[in-house]
Amino acid sequence: MNIHEYQAKELLAKYGVGIPAGIPALTVEEAVAAAKQLPGPLYVVKAQIHAGGRGKGKFKELPADAKGGVRLAKSVEEVEAFAREMLGNTLVTIQTGEAGKQVNRLYVTDGVDIAKEYYLSMLVDRKTGRVAVIASTEGG
């Protein structure tokens, strides 16, 4: 089962884990509306694809010096600009290979000062038939 970041965070929040406020968006207009619902003044705009390394990734359709699939926006106008650049374009990361994956959904979150950050993954070890849980302070 693959779930996106926004889906995982909804599950974590349901069980009391503290996470930054965030809203998924399928369109530029939805991304702008999401930002307006969040406290600001910082926002994080994240491409939702099933691959790690989104922040370090590159979009096929954008210049080589363009930012990746996780961007810090300092205004609602920047959220709009980032959404326009990401939605519908192909994000290439270390995990997607050269083909990349098209970005059809964004996750707009409140920008927060992070004291500690953890990454958690659960997967089925097919050899043993058991669930493996991986936790780390480094991720992507």
Under CATH, what is the fold of the domain 5-114? Answer: Dna Ligase; domain 1 (3.30.1490)
For 99-128, the pLDDT digits (tens) are: 999 999 999 999 988 888 888 888 888 999
For 53-83, the pLDDT digits (tens) are: 999 999 999 999 999 999 999 999 999 999 9
Strands (DSSP E) contained in 32-73 are: 43-47, 58-59, 70-73
**Res 140: pLDDT:** 54
- Break the chain into its structural domains and give their ranges: 5-114
**Res 1: pLDDT:** 66
Mean pLDDT calculated for residue range 77-105: 97
Contacts of 5 (CB under 8 A, 6+ apart): 46, 48, 107
**Res 122: pLDDT:** 83
Per cent of the chain over pLDDT 90 is 77
